[in-house]
Amino acid sequence: MIDLNLLTDGGVGWLDASGPSSHLVLSTRIRLARNLSSHVYQGRNSETEREEILQSVERAVRESVLLRRPTRYRLDRLDRIDRQLLHERHLVSKELAGLEAEGRVRSGASVLIQDRIGVMLNEEDHLRIQGLHSGFALDETYAEVDRLDTELGQRLAFAFHPEFGYLTSCPTNVGTGLRASVLIHLPGLVLTKEISKVLQGLAQVGLTHRGLYGEGSEVVGNFFQLSNQTTLGSSERELLDHLGKMVRQVMDYEEQARQVLVRDAPTVIEDKVWRAYGLLRYARSLSFEEAMNLLSGVRLGVGVGLIPDVAMYTLNKLLIYTQPAHLAVAEGISPDDADLPLRRARFVRKVLESEVGRRG
């Protein structure tokens, strides 16, 4: 069993709802894809080469300021449940954790984490430098990621082409190698059925949306990850400014949709959010998806001021700790155990009871 307590805040500092606009935006993530010019890419390299990559990056990391004392997890030496745990905390990708449908964890697959930044190693690219912040914080996140990239770039030889920029295993990431994602909660737009229009609009301006866990994941609990689609032909600054501007616009639309709901259908919305709260508070069995959807309802209720006394932090915590691997570990059972929905409902009841008081 891995010890996630080795991480500052258990690696869930981004959940604390302390960042800007955290009533709408859960987290901001930025990653830079980099490869070493000395080695062939992941699809064609050998176990020995992946070890070499690991060693040279670890050497560079030790000399850095930002990632001097990282917590290190070798995913290839972890059980599936531990890999799932790291993935559920949004610290590693599904691919690195070897959790894809036919995926296996690759030898050398590792992650180095210190506070809000880290590096995934032997992922699709040799390095994925990443930063994760609470709330809507593109500038703060990029500043750290950029600094780490500079530090590592001085100690490692990155593959760089004068015209194409940073070279990546997949041409969709070439150029800046930058993907910035904002995890945003949009129940107002979903309820007013405006969401597809908004998502279409975003696609037209070069942004893309994904589900809670990034690439290839389903949208659950009205959480959307909005990110830049292209990585080449614009500077990092332009990509971030564009995404930031569009996210701010989506936030405005969401606020407007919520106002419309409260103004035009006050009883419907009030019933909906309290019903969600009631179910979470008293249900005896909850699937993960149901829990996510109910948490979304309560979050909306808190956001529009209908449900007092529930902290965003409590809701964020429930979002993470009701996931299959987290719950299974906490309860000491297998994530496939048929009892999981019962345990989930009990866990949610307990948290709400102790953190919300008796006014619900």
Amino acid at 159: A
Beta carbon nearer to other proteins, 39 or 133 = 39
Alpha helices (H) in 89-137, listed in sequence order: none
* Total number of residues that touch other proteins (CB under 8 A): 45
3 state SS of 135: coil
**Does residue 340 bind other proteins (CB under 8 A)?**
no
Interaction of residue 58 with other proteins, rule CB under 8 A: no
Identify the burial level of 208 via C-beta atoms within 10 angstroms of its C-beta, where 0-12 means exposed, 13-18 middle and 19 or more buried. middle
Per-residue x/- track, 25-44, other proteins (CB under 8 A): ----------x-x-xxxxxx
CA neighbor of 158 nearest in space, from 170, 166, 148: 166
**How far, in Å, CA of 336 to CA of 327, rounded?**
11
98 touching other proteins, by CB under 8 A = no
Strand stretches in the chain, DSSP E: 25-34, 71-74, 110-114, 117-121, 127-134, 160-161, 165-166, 178-185, 207-210, 223-228
Using CB under 8 A as the binding rule, whether residue 144 contacts other proteins is answered as no
Q: Is 159 in the site for other proteins (CB under 8 A)?
A: yes
Q: State yes or no: residue 64 binds other proteins (CB under 8 A).
A: no
**Three-state DSSP class for residue 233:** coil
* 330 contributes a contact to other proteins by CB under 8 A: no
Single residue of 76, 88, 95, 124 touching other proteins by CB under 8 A:
124
Which residue stretch of 88-96, 160-168, 270-278, 309-317 sits at the interface with other proteins (rule: CB under 8 A)? 160-168
178 binds other proteins (CB under 8 A): yes
Q: Is 201 in the site for other proteins (CB under 8 A)?
A: no
Beta-carbon count within 10 A of 165 CB: 16
* C-beta closer to other proteins: residue 48 or 154: 154
Q: Does 176 bind other proteins (CB under 8 A)?
A: yes
Asked if 354 interacts with other proteins (CB under 8 A), we say no
305 binds other proteins (CB under 8 A): no
Other C-beta atoms lying within 10 Å of the C-beta of residue 41: 16
CB 360 within 8 A of CB 276: no
Q: Are 273 and 315 within 8 A, CB to CB?
A: no
User: Minimal distance in Å, beta carbon 218 to other proteins?
Assistant: 14
CB of 224 to other proteins, least distance (A): 14
Q: Does 287 interact with other proteins (rule: CB under 8 A)?
A: no
Tokens of 216: 């290839």
Residues 287 and 293: their CA atoms lie apart, in Å, by: 10
Applying CB under 8 A, which part among 87-95, 145-153, 256-264, 287-295 lies near other proteins?
145-153
Place of tokens 């301006």: 205
When asked if residue 208 is in the footprint of other proteins (CB under 8 A), the reply is yes
Residues 6+ apart with CB under 8 A from 201: none
Least Å distance, CB 299 to other proteins, is 27
Candidates 8-16, 102-110, 154-162, 351-359; binding stretch for other proteins (CB under 8 A): 154-162
DSSP 320-355: HHTSHHHHHHHHTS-TT-TTHHHHHHHHHHHHHHHH
Q: How far is the CB of 103 from other proteins (least distance, A)?
A: 14
Q: How far is the CB of 155 from other proteins (least distance, A)?
A: 8
Report if residue 166 touches other proteins, rule: CB under 8 A.
yes
Where on the chain is the footprint of other proteins (CB under 8 A)? Answer: 35, 37, 39-44, 124, 146, 150, 153-154, 158-167, 169-172, 174-176, 178, 203-204, 206, 208, 229-236, 238-239
